[in-house]
Amino acid sequence: MYVSEQEVRAALTYEKLIPAIRQALIDYSAGLVNQPPRMILRAGNAEGHRNGWFAVMPVVAGDVMGVKTVTFYAGNDELGLHTHMAMVELLNRATGEPLAVMDGRLITEMRTAAVSAAAFSGIAPLHFSSPPASFGIIGSGVQARAHITALRHVWPEMHEIRISSRNAANAKRLAEEVNALAVSAEEAAGVDVVLVATTSPIPVLKGCWLKPDALVIAVGASGASLRELDDEAMVSSYVIAEGRSCIERESGDVLLSGAKVQAEIGEILADPGAATIPRDQRIVFKTVGMAIEDVTAARLVWQSRQATSGK
């Protein structure tokens, strides 16, 4: 069975994806997921930021197995193409039978935002004394838009949105779409919750711009030599990882700043009462993306199509 992006879009909803991702993160932290490190190969197609990469991400979890193959070409933006493209293969764990092959671009988009939404719902009540209301975004691409949609499912108090981008026209266009303000990066950072979702290889968020108790959700800069946050933003914050070993291996924000991961989100979601999240310190939730998230989303798509076909 091949499932196109259009079919994925019809089958996958945040209402189902966010709670499924939440449970997947809990299972990962509980050691119930067999997920080796992703293998990344440089494409060698060009020099500098135009040099793309190809990654293979396998995982075994629950009743399924799967593998995502994904490419990232930062230069595609200039060509009017998606920077990320992917395919996901889903298999029956009991028999090894292939269940489906599906386009993974939208799955990657939605699961990334769903992870942030699940993390926000676990962190915010423990960190803020009252619900936060302002949301700043640095970046105006696919993830900026997806995060607004996903976070609205778990954050009804979100009222003010500020958007900054190196491409001012893109920031203005997105701001008009979602009833937000297009502002400078410093203005976008001076709010309760800040999303950093860019392809920049160097810091675009400075710690001196942040509120003392800001929550930063950092989803870009996947790579040991790339970073979106400067040293001050990282070392002044309590760092929560999507997956501790993944972040400590693949996040330049952590590796290049010397910041230490102090908690894993699945641990917090599983037992909020045992979490020691500070109220008087900044929080950075850092993600690089994990295969368990892709397979969780792909399983939902497959289940939806099975139900629709009556099988």
Which of 272, 251, 268, 269 is closest to 260 using CA atoms?
Answer: 251
Give me the domains of the chain, ranges plus CATH numbers: 2-107+292-309 (3.30.1780.10), 128-289 (3.40.50.720)
Phi and psi at residue 284, to the nearest 5°: -115, 120
The per-residue pLDDT for 111 is 98
pLDDT along the chain (311 residues), means of 10: 95 98 98 96 84 94 97 86 93 98 97 98 97 97 96 97 95 96 98 94 96 97 90 98 96 96 98 95 97 98 88 58
Helix locations, the chain, DSSP H: 5-11, 14-29, 105-127, 142-152, 168-178, 185-189, 231-235, 244-250, 252-255, 265-270, 291-309
Amino acid at 84: H
Contact 230, 253 (CB under 8 A): no
Let me know if 252 is exposed, middle or buried by CB neighbors in 10 A (0-12, 13-18, 19+): buried
The per-residue pLDDT for 59 is 98
The per-residue pLDDT for 311 is 58
The per-residue pLDDT for 158 is 97
The per-residue pLDDT for 310 is 66
| Model pTM score | 0.96
The per-residue pLDDT for 49 is 73
